């Protein structure tokens, strides 16, 4: 099996006759599955459904379903239809991180630990933990939204669910 570049040098439209790099594992090649209007990857065995007029691809066996758009040379993550991060969502995200941190630090500031107590560090460590854990939640949601491919690849390597696509592939 020859290596397929992640990016094509010439513009190639997405159709069921072609072979394309896999947008999930980035190592495999996806090609049409016999008798099905779908693509399968020969490495990670994910099954993709294509929308040829829109030149887009969707992997159906992940939650949430992920979409990519083929620009003729490579895959570009496309955001979920109708879902958009607007300024009020950002505001809620900032409040979600700042509010608990402020409350916890106010408590630490108002009721400081007794001088010389061995747990003096704890209240400010708790503030840091509150900040980091809430920031982590927001960061995770943003990563989920923007469908970072490396995150998917990381998930893929730990995934145990594999579908036997290879058996249904056409010989080329």
Among 14, 33, 38, 41, binds Zn ion (CB under 5 A): 41
Confirm or reject binding of residue 66 to Zn ion (CB under 5 A): no
Report how far apart, in Å, the C-alpha atoms of 118 and of each of 27, 112, 122 are: 53, 13, 9
d(CA 66, CA 155): 13
For residue 27, the minimal CB distance to Zn ion (Å) is: 7
Give residue 72's region: left, alpha or beta (phi > 0; psi -120 to 50): left
Confirm or reject binding of residue 152 to Zn ion (CB under 5 A): no
Burial of 142 (C-beta count, 10 Å sphere; 0-12/13-18/19+): middle
Confirm or reject binding of residue 38 to Zn ion (CB under 5 A): no
Among 25, 33, 130, 165, binds Zn ion (CB under 5 A): 25
Among 20, 21, 28, 104, binds Zn ion (CB under 5 A): 28
User: Which residue, 43 or 130, is less far from Zn ion as judged by CB?
Assistant: 43
Which residues of this protein are in contact with Zn ion, per CB under 5 A?
22, 24-25, 28, 41, 43-44
């Amino acid at each position: 099996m020859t290596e397929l570049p992640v990016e094509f040098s010439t513009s190639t439209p997405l159709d069921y006759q072609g072979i394309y790099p896999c947008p999930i594992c980035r190592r495999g090649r996806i090609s049409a599955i016999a008798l099905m209007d779908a693509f399968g990857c020969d490495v990670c065995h994910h099954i993709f459904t294509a929308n040829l007029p829109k030149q887009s691809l969707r992997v159906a066996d992940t939650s949430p379903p992920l979409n990519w758009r083929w620009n003729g040379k490579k895959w570009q993550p496309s955001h979920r239809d109708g879902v958009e991060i607007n300024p009020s969502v950002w505001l809620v995200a900032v409040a979600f991180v700042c509010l608990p941190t402020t409350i916890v630090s106010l408590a630490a500031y108002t009721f400081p630990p007794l001088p010389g107590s061995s747990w003096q560090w704890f209240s400010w460590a708790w503030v840091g933990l509150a900040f980091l854990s809430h920031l982590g939640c927001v960061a995770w949601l943003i990563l989920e939204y923007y469908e970072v491919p490396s995150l998917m690849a990381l998930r893929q390597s730990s995934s145990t669910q594999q579908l036997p696509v290879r058996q249904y592939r056409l010989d080329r």
